[in-house]
Amino acid sequence: MKSVAIISVITFILIFGGVLLVSMQLNQASGAAALPDLAPADYEAAERVFQDMAAERDRIQREKEELLQTRQSVAVQEKVLEQSRQRLESVIAELEQKQAVFAQEREASAARLAKMYEAMKPEQAAPIIAALEMDVILDIMSRMKERPAAKILAKMDAGLAAQISTRLSAQGGLQ
């Protein structure tokens, strides 16, 4: 908007500057005469000034139209970006919700498995638990009571039992 105002002021100055210039030339040529006789060169100069002003006015009008088109394009792009941002936020919210549900399900599953392995004989539970991934073992063992967990660890390979014990102590231990 500032550029349109600046261009308008420049156009105003050019037009009235040209009129003033032509007026001064006419006054100088005529001196004190009421109706001066203008030389053909004066007419040509005035015509050139008016043509220059018209060309400048057309150029400013084109720039104004280009500016309006650019503004419209930017507005459309901003709208598209806003819609994309809103879609992204909804996808993020949906993923966070699914992640929370998954965490709850995993928690419930680990708690059920812990109770199940606690109920089993340590000789039966130890080889099954030892075959699981370390993260799953830790989830299950951390939810078990101390006594059943100790009995199961006693029936496992010493190296694996040591790893599990070390990681459990780093996590905060058993229930």
Query: Which of 1-10, 68-77, 106-115 has the weakest average pLDDT?
Result: 1-10
Task: Give the integer Cα–Cα distance in Å for 152 and 161.
Answer: 9
Percent of the chain with pLDDT over 90: 58
Q: Is the pTM of this model over 0.85?
A: no
Looking at every residue in the chain, the average pLDDT score rounds to 87
| CB neighbour list of residue 52: distance below 8 Å, 6 or more residues apart | 14, 18
103, 111 Cβ separation under 8 angstroms? no
